[in-house]
């Protein structure tokens, strides 16, 4: 009797969106920690094209993408997914997740990582109730945060939340919290330091610092 090829184990893929203007150690350390908790095979950092009515990033899409590429090069399991920057108009998260899901095997597990504030704003997202068809949602919760969800999310949490990330089953459809103490660093702070002529060494990886300096990014106009 011929032996049947065994299908490989389902892959575990995480998605972390952000403006990354610029990417910094808060993003990167947080990404590694959550990748470890979820035992991810791959964690994709997805730079967002910011919608026209919001404050525009200072660096160009190409520069933001290049900095994330430099930051994650050779670092397992971090990767960059530039698809939102390659479109001519800002994409909705649901479209990005549909596109990524379409590229995966049916039983691969997809995890959308959202900070608590982003999660609370979910009901205002385009086609938000379809997100769980394609992925699990992992809420990055800080120990000191107010943990009362808005009313619009109460029923969803009651139906879909599991007790721990390890309890997330199947390719999509559930919600879990990961508790994380963020490093006290933000892209806003980094841009301000640079605009004031200060150093951001050690707040960003050395390769990102070199890129910022080589391209004269975030400096106040002379």
Q: How far is the CB of 57 from ligand ATP (least distance, A)?
A: 8
Our CB check for ligand ATP shows the closer of 162 and 185 to be 185
Our CB check for ligand ATP shows the closer of 10 and 118 to be 118
Q: How far is the CB of 179 from ligand ATP (least distance, A)?
A: 12
Q: How far is the CB of 25 from ligand ATP (least distance, A)?
A: 8
Residue 44 CA to residue 31 CA, distance in Å, equals: 9
SS (H, E, C) the chain: CCCCCCCCCCCEEEEEEECCCCCCHHHHHHHHHHHHHCCCCEEEEEECCCCCCCCCCCCCHHHHHHHHHHHHCCCCCEEECCCCCCCCCCCCHHHHHHHHHHHCCCCCEEEEEEEHHHHHCHHHCCCHHHHHHHCEEEEEECCCCCCCCCHHHHHHHHHHECCCHHHCCCCCCCEEEEECCCCCCCHHHHHHHHHCCCCCECCECHHHHHHHHHHCCCCCCC
Our CB check for ligand ATP shows the closer of 22 and 171 to be 22
Copy the structure tokens of residue 116.
């608590």
Residue nearest to ligand ATP (CB): 26
Q: How far is the CB of 31 from ligand ATP (least distance, A)?
A: 8
Residue with tokens 């952000």: 18
Our CB check for ligand ATP shows the closer of 118 and 162 to be 118
> In the complex, which residues of this chain contact ligand ATP (CB under 6 A)?
18-21, 26-27, 30, 115, 118, 140, 182-183, 185-188
Residue 147 CA to residue 66 CA, distance in Å, equals: 35
Our CB check for ligand ATP shows the closer of 10 and 32 to be 32
Q: How far is the CB of 128 from ligand ATP (least distance, A)?
A: 16
Our CB check for ligand ATP shows the closer of 10 and 83 to be 83
Q: How far is the CB of 188 from ligand ATP (least distance, A)?
A: 3
């Amino acid at each position: 009797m011929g032996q049947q090829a065994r299908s490989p184990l389902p892959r575990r893929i995480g998605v972390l969106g952000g403006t990354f203007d610029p990417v910094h150690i808060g993003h990167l350390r947080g990404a590694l920690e959550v990748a470890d908790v979820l035992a991810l095979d791959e964690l994709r950092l997805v730079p967002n094209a910011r919608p026209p009515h919001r404050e525009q990033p200072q660096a160009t899409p190409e520069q933001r993408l290049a900095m994330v590429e430099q930051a994650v090069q050779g670092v397992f399991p971090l990767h960059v997914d530039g698809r939102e920057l390659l479109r001519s108009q800002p994409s909705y998260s649901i479209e990005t997740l549909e596109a990524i899901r379409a590229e995966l095997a049916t039983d691969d597990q997809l995890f959308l990582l959202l900070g608590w504030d982003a999660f609370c704003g979910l009901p205002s997202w385009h086609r938000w109730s379809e997100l769980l068809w394609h992925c699990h949602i992992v809420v990055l919760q800080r120990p000191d945060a107010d943990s009362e969800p808005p009313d619009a999310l109460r029923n969803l949490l009651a139906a879909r939340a599991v007790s721990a990330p390890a309890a997330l089953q199947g390719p999509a459809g559930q919600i879990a919290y990961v508790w994380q103490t963020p490093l006290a660093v933000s892209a806003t702070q980094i841009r301000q330091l640079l605009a004031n002529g200060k150093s951001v060494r050690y707040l960003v990886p050395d390769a990102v610092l070199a890129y910022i300096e080589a391209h004269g990014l975030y400096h106040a106009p002379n």
